[in-house]
Amino acid sequence: MGVFRKVGSGLSWAYKPAVDVKAWMGWDIIKSSSRYVYGLGKEVFVPAEAKHQESFEEAMERLHLSETDIQDRQKEFARLFLIYALMGLAIFIYSIVLFFKMAFMGGILAIVVSALAFGMAFRQHFWLFQIKHRKLGCSLSEWYHSKIDEQSSNTEGQS
């Protein structure tokens, strides 16, 4: 038994390249790509901490915005919200049509595109919500319930 083990280990140069599964799969490339995608996902889904806190009025002053500029932005966000929401709805309905026509790949792609449109609509509506309530850094809970936590907005204005 010991003889075969010594001979087998001595011939690893001959069979190692033939059974190196990690090299066949490109394990190093898969590993580095996975780390990159993980880092990218973490960067996208974990919000960055604000470097400094400022109120809505301070941001208006810093960006040299007037009340008419704010009103124009509010109209722009409302218009873009409607455009993205209607576009998302139309694409979603089209995806249902594609599924009924047995075009599954097209239907899945249409659902993904409609999700992107709905995501853009959410962003525009969230910004519109912050402008209407004149508070920066609203939480998703505040947006969802359409209520601003008065205590947190008062403490932010005092700091």
Return the higher-pLDDT residue of 86 and 45. 86
Tokens of 27: 């394990």
The one-letter code for the residue type at 58 is: E
Around Cβ 70, how many Cβ atoms within 10 Å?
A: 15
pLDDT digits (tens, 9 = 90+) for 62-77: 777 788 888 888 899 9
Task: Supply angle C-alpha 31, 33, 37, rounded to 5.
Answer: 120
Hey, CA dihedral for 38, 42, 43, 45, is it positive or negative?
Answer: positive
For residue 159, what pLDDT is reported? 39
Global pTM reads 0.59
Of 45-54, 84-93, 127-136, the least confident? 45-54
Tokens of 72: 């124009």
Which residues have a Cβ under 8 Å from the Cβ of 139 and sit 6 or more positions away? Answer: 149
Q: With a cut of 80, say whether residue 158 has pLDDT above it.
A: no
pLDDT digits (tens, 9 = 90+) for 77-92: 999 999 999 999 999 9
Region 98-114: what's the mean pLDDT? 94
Q: With a cut of 90, say whether residue 128 has pLDDT above it.
A: no
